Amino acid sequence: MEFAELIKTPRADNVVLHRPFHLAVEGTLCLTGHHLIFSSRRQDNAEELWLLHSNIDSIEKRFVGSLGTIVIKCKDLRIIQLDIPGMEECLNIASSIEVLSTLDSVTLMYPFFYRPMFEVLEDGWSSFLLEQEFELLSSVTNEWRLSCVNKEFSVCPSYPPVVIVPKSIDDEALRKVALFRHGGRFPVLSYYHKKNGMAMLRSSQPLTGTNGRRCKEDEKLVNSTLRSGRRGFVIDTRPLAVAQQARAKGGGFEQEVHYPQWRRIHKCIERFNILQESFIKLVEACNDQSHNMDRWLSKLEASNWLTHIKELLTAACLAAQCIDREGASVLVHGSEGTDSTLQVTSLAQIILDPRCRTIRGFEGLVVREWLQAGHPFQQRCAQSAYSNSKQKWEAPVFLLFLECVWQIHRQFPCSFEFNEQFLIMLFEHAYASQFGTFLGNNENERAKLKLPQKTMSLWSWVNRPEELSRFQNPLYEANSLVIWPSVAPQSLQLWEGVFLRWNRPSRFLEEAEEERINIIKYNKELQAKVNALRRQLAEMETDEEVLEE
């Protein structure tokens, strides 16, 4: 397909761009296959706005006489308005944007066309291999092994080719267990707590059905992670009633009789359309232009967004608590094991593992627990909060995870190597990106699309020193402790950096951040100067002593 066919009016002059907190600017609008480009011609404040078509969530057009207006709502929640003179031009542009922003073929997406302007120092596609992770693990324990049972994606289509499993369980057993778990997602190692040797496993629901099917290999697998005489916890992210209903559809949960060493705890983490609706309501509330203080809090409440945040954080704390305080192994699952399960296991690691609070470690966590673990990014992030289509698969699952990380970050502002911008950047790229990292729904699809060969990895770009410096938290001091966040309502706040990003004045907050950076930068410079002088003096004094002798 030629993009040119879709662009009847590639360029319009005298277009006026409106954005909140900016003066209206006049300039030229250009459409390319993947971008909407607005550039103002004025000399004094020349500026360019580049918007990926894939970032456009919805578009509205209206006319007053021959002046057309297009309102573009983006997946990163920004809203811009373009006034385009000429009805035909405006109609053409609007229809091109509509088509180009909803292309359904992945291979037409920008990452397949993007050519980086930077030198690749490290290929991000191979920065986070499970083999390396396993090597680290092997240095502290030999109870686990790498299994290639899923090498052809035949055992579990949504798992990566290699997974870490208990050493005592062979591939044959894994195949049997896979048949007993929804989507073949047999229990695998998610996290190993070095401090006490406890493990966090994740899987999907067991297929017990109404007649209480069991699978000896499954029981053996999970039991092999327990210390003798100790119990483990199954954290089911669904309420008991939901888990029970799942039996009618062939799903189910681990029953006490067959898993006597395990104690099951049900949590209530919402999924799919409930989250999507919550997201839409919250963004509506944040964009409400009325001046009425009263309605804001009730709208915030009605969106239930912070309730989801609280539930999720609570479940993650619970998992972390079982591991660190109870000294118990934990198995986490919901139904499919691709959404709430991953939220819980990855957040628990943020709490428990200082490594996950570094930039590199966090990237590794996203790769392991989200990308390789088969969170269906393409389905979940196809649309954001402005989409009108009621498709079933969209849900801000990853955004909720990022916001929970932000909530913990806010409570421990010195314990993370990355800053808020890093989290916001990941949110943006999950929804629209020039990089291939978040394309596809699992490793199987990514392999078929040959993403590592045909597209650039987000990590190749982020991990360049120039980029990294933007994402570093100046207050960071490595903290080797477990960090327990508060989940009380008073402790949780709206993530303004995402939800109010485009409709609050940010200058004063940015200045404050700059000030923080400067205070620390100046301190470090002084330290370096003082150290250098000390050395110089020491040398001179020794010389002098030698001379004197």
Partner 1 sequence: MEHIRMPKVENVRLLDRFSSRRAVVGTLYLTATHVIFVENGSETRKETWVLHSQISSIEKQATTATGCPLLIRCKNFQVIQLVIPQERDCHDVYISLIRLARPVKYEELYCFSFNPKLDKEEREQGWKLVDLNEEYNRMGVPNNYWQISDVNRDYGVCDSYPTEVYVPKSATAHIIVGSSKFRSRRRFPALSYYCKGNNASICRSSQPLSGFSARCLEDEQMLQAIRKANPGSDFIYVVDTRPKLNAMANRAAGKGYENEDNYSNIKFQFIGIENIHVMRNSLQKMLEVCELKSPSMSDFLWGLENSGWLRHIKAIMDAGIFIAKAVAEEGVSVLVHCSDGWDRTAQVCSVASLLLDPYYRTMKGFMVLIEKDWVSFGHKFNHRYGNLDGDPKEISPVIDQFIECVWQLMEQFPCAFEFNERFLIHIQHHIYSCQFGNFLCNSQKERRELKIKERTYSLWAHLWKNRADYLNPLYRPDHSQTQGTLHPQIAPCNFLYKFWSGMYNRFEKGLHPRQSVTDYLMAVKEETQQLEEELEVLQERLANLQKSQSGNNKVKSKQQDQSKQFGLYTSNNSLANTPQEYSNDLKSFPSRSPSQGDEDSALILTQDNLKSSDPDLSANSDQESGVEDLSCRSPSGGGCLPSEDSGKDSDEAVFVAG
Q: Of 476-515, which residues contact partner 1 (CB under 8 A)?
A: 477-494, 496, 500, 503-505, 508-509, 511-512, 515
Taking the C-alpha atoms of residue 40 and residue 16, their distance in angstroms, rounded to an integer, is 9
Helix (H) or strand (E) segment spanning residue 431: helix 420-431
Taking the C-alpha atoms of residue 461 and residue 114, their distance in angstroms, rounded to an integer, is 12
544 touches partner 1 by CB under 8 A = yes
For residue 121, give every residue at least 6 positions away whose Cβ sits within 8 Å of its Cβ, in sequence order, or none. 460, 463, 464
Nearer to partner 1 by Cβ, of 304 and 437: the residue is 304
Give Cα 548 distance to the centre of its chain.
65
Nearer to partner 1 by Cβ, of 282 and 373: the residue is 282
289 touches partner 1 by CB under 8 A = yes
314 touches partner 1 by CB under 8 A = yes
Taking the C-alpha atoms of residue 439 and residue 337, their distance in angstroms, rounded to an integer, is 19
534 touches partner 1 by CB under 8 A = yes
Taking the C-alpha atoms of residue 185 and residue 324, their distance in angstroms, rounded to an integer, is 25
Residue the block writes with tokens 């080797």? 480
Query: For partner 1, which residue of 34, 75, 267, 380 counts as binding (CB under 8 A)?
Result: 267
Query: Structure tokens of 157?
Result: 């289509």
For residue 253, give every residue at least 6 positions away whose Cβ sits within 8 Å of its Cβ, in sequence order, or none. 205, 206, 208, 234, 236, 243, 244, 246, 247, 264
Nearer to partner 1 by Cβ, of 132 and 491: the residue is 491
117 touches partner 1 by CB under 8 A = no
323 touches partner 1 by CB under 8 A = no
Taking the C-alpha atoms of residue 1 and residue 326, their distance in angstroms, rounded to an integer, is 58
541 touches partner 1 by CB under 8 A = yes
Residue the block writes with tokens 């990089």? 435
Q: How far is the CB of 405 from partner 1 (least distance, A)?
A: 15
519 touches partner 1 by CB under 8 A = yes
Taking the C-alpha atoms of residue 353 and residue 209, their distance in angstroms, rounded to an integer, is 36
Query: For partner 1, which residue of 324, 336, 369, 403 counts as binding (CB under 8 A)?
Result: 324
Nearer to partner 1 by Cβ, of 88 and 541: the residue is 541
Which pairs count as long-range contacts for 151-154, CB under 8 Å and 24+ apart, including other chains? 153/443, 153/444, 153/447
What Å distances lie between residue 396 and 76, 109, 333, 375, 402, CA to CA?
A: 12, 21, 19, 12, 10
Q: How many other CB atoms are found less than 10 A from the CB of residue 224?
A: 17
Q: How far is the CB of 494 from partner 1 (least distance, A)?
A: 7
Question: Are 203 and 337 in contact, with CB atoms under 8 Å apart?
Answer: yes
Q: How far is the CB of 265 from partner 1 (least distance, A)?
A: 6
325 touches partner 1 by CB under 8 A = yes
Q: At what angle do helices 305-324 and 340-352 cross, to 10 degrees?
A: 60
63 touches partner 1 by CB under 8 A = no
540 touches partner 1 by CB under 8 A = yes
Local structure of residue 55 (DSSP, 8 states): G
Cα atoms in the Cβ-side hemisphere of radius 13 Å centred on 211: 0
Query: For partner 1, which residue of 391, 450, 522, 542 counts as binding (CB under 8 A)?
Result: 522
Nearer to partner 1 by Cβ, of 148 and 530: the residue is 530
Nearer to partner 1 by Cβ, of 122 and 515: the residue is 515
Q: How far is the CB of 548 from partner 1 (least distance, A)?
A: 8
197 touches partner 1 by CB under 8 A = no
- Of the ranges 41-49, 156-164, 453-461, 538-546, which one interacts with partner 1 (CB under 8 A)? 538-546
Q: How many residues bind partner 1 (CB under 8 A)?
A: 84
> Residue ranges of the alpha helices (H) in 1-48?
3-6
Closest CA to 395 of 359, 431, 361, 368: 431
Nearer to partner 1 by Cβ, of 391 and 491: the residue is 491
Q: How far is the CB of 471 from partner 1 (least distance, A)?
A: 18
Beta strand residue intervals within 341-430, DSSP E: none
- Of the ranges 41-49, 148-156, 428-436, 473-481, which one interacts with partner 1 (CB under 8 A)? 473-481
Q: How far is the CB of 384 from partner 1 (least distance, A)?
A: 20
Taking the C-alpha atoms of residue 319 and residue 165, their distance in angstroms, rounded to an integer, is 19
Taking the C-alpha atoms of residue 131 and residue 137, their distance in angstroms, rounded to an integer, is 10
Query: For partner 1, which residue of 307, 379, 387, 472 counts as binding (CB under 8 A)?
Result: 307
475 touches partner 1 by CB under 8 A = yes
Q: How far is the CB of 385 from partner 1 (least distance, A)?
A: 16
Query: For partner 1, which residue of 8, 296, 358, 447 counts as binding (CB under 8 A)?
Result: 296
- Of the ranges 132-140, 144-152, 173-181, 526-534, which one interacts with partner 1 (CB under 8 A)? 526-534
Footprint (CB under 8 A) of partner 1, residues 396-425: 410-415
132 touches partner 1 by CB under 8 A = no
Query: For partner 1, which residue of 104, 119, 294, 549 counts as binding (CB under 8 A)?
Result: 294
Q: How far is the CB of 221 from partner 1 (least distance, A)?
A: 24
Query: Structure tokens of 291?
Result: 């001046």
